């Protein structure tokens, strides 16, 4: 039987659950050398001693998933919009206020009327992955 131990290619996925907005943001990291070649029991003891806020969700040599509950909002609530032909990014803060974040450097020049209409209304995106997939649609 193969031993169920961490290996140098084990990935550690951290799922951060933000209580105030209900979003979960996933982040995957390579395993630190000091956690390699450990059984679940050994890993749990060592890792959670170093990271007491995390809880173990699953353990395998390929991937370890840990979770953390955070009493805050994720702070990654974006609004993609258009002004004078430029595609701009705003963040929506906790009190639902629109705060200018940055100019994406993209323009609406080659976009369809439909896309421009959607941008005029503003497109919401939560988290960086969602934001990137929204922006990908506007790269010509």
Integer Cα distance of 10 and 36 in angstroms = 8
| Binding to Zn ion in span 79-138, by CB under 5 A | none
Q: How far is the CB of 26 from Zn ion (least distance, A)?
A: 13
Q: How far is the CB of 20 from Zn ion (least distance, A)?
A: 8
Q: List the one residue from 21, 36, 88, 116 that touches Zn ion (CB under 5 A).
A: 21
25 part of the interface to Zn ion, by CB under 5 A: no
> Sheet containing 24-30: which strands, arranged edge to edge?
24-30, 11-18, 63-70, 55-59
The candidate with the shortest Cα–Cα distance to 135, out of 109, 104, 103, is 104
Q: How far is the CB of 130 from Zn ion (least distance, A)?
A: 10
Three-state DSSP state, 91: strand
Q: Which residue, chain included where needed, has tokens 């990654």?
A: 76
Query: Toward Zn ion, which CB reaches closer, 24 or 44?
Result: 24
Q: Provide the binding-site residues for Zn ion, judged by CB under 5 A.
A: 21, 23, 74
């Amino acid at each position: 039987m193969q031993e169920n131990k961490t290996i140098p290619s084990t990935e550690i996925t951290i799922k951060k659950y933000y209580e105030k907005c209900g979003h979960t943001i996933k982040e995957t990291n390579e395993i630190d050398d000091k956690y390699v070649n450990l059984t679940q029991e050994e890993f749990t003891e060592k890792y959670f001693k170093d990271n007491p806020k995390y809880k173990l969700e699953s353990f395998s040599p390929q991937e370890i998933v840990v979770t953390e509950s955070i009493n805050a909002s994720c702070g990654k609530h974006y609004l993609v919009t258009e002004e004078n032909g430029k595609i701009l990014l705003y963040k929506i803060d906790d009190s639902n206020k629109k705060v200018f974040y940055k100019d994406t450097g993209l323009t609406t020049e080659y976009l369809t009327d439909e896309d421009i209409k959607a941008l005029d209304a503003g497109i919401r995106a939560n988290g960086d992955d969602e934001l990137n997939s929204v922006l990908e649609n506007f790269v010509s």
